[in-house]
Amino acid sequence: MPKGYVIFTEAVDDPTGMAAYGRAAGLSIAESGAAVLAADPRPQVLEGTWHGDQTVVLEFESVEAARAWYESAAYAKAKPLRQAAARTNAVIVAGFAPRPATAE
């Protein structure tokens, strides 16, 4: 089963509010067993237009685990803090799982 990733792009309007969100979300992330793979306040855009001024990537054991965290009661307490402090895009994506090689 491939890993699940939650990716946020955030246009932060209230840094103090985002700090409060970070503390609240951090607890729920730790409880879920997820890992923060990236939290970059200045992503380097290579092509196109990127939303926001901060990008965060979380890794979960599966897409189902990522969805369970996002919909959890623990994260529900943090989510309104983020929504009040930043304009955010969020996605869940499945990790790449290479197909086994087949004999020709």
> How is the chain split into domains, by residue range?
4-94
**Whether the Cβ atoms of residue 76 and residue 24 lie closer than 8 Å to each other:** no
Question: Which two structure tokens, joined as six digits, stand for 97?
Answer: 């799982």
Question: Which two structure tokens, joined as six digits, stand for 42?
Answer: 């200045």
- How would DSSP label each residue in 28-72? HHHHHT-EEEEEESS----SS---SSEEEEEEESSHHHHHHHHTS
Which pLDDT does position 103 carry in this prediction?
65
For the sheet with 54-60, list strands across it: 35-40, 54-60, 4-12, 86-94
* Residue range 22-36: mean pLDDT, rounded: 95
Which pLDDT does position 61 carry in this prediction?
97
Contact residues for 17 (Cβ-Cβ < 8 A; gap 6+): 81, 84, 85, 86
Tell whether the model's pLDDT for residue 37 goes beyond 70: yes
∠ CA 76-13-10, rounded to 5°: 60
**4-94 CATH fold:** Alpha-Beta Plaits (3.30.70)
- Mean pLDDT for the chain? 94
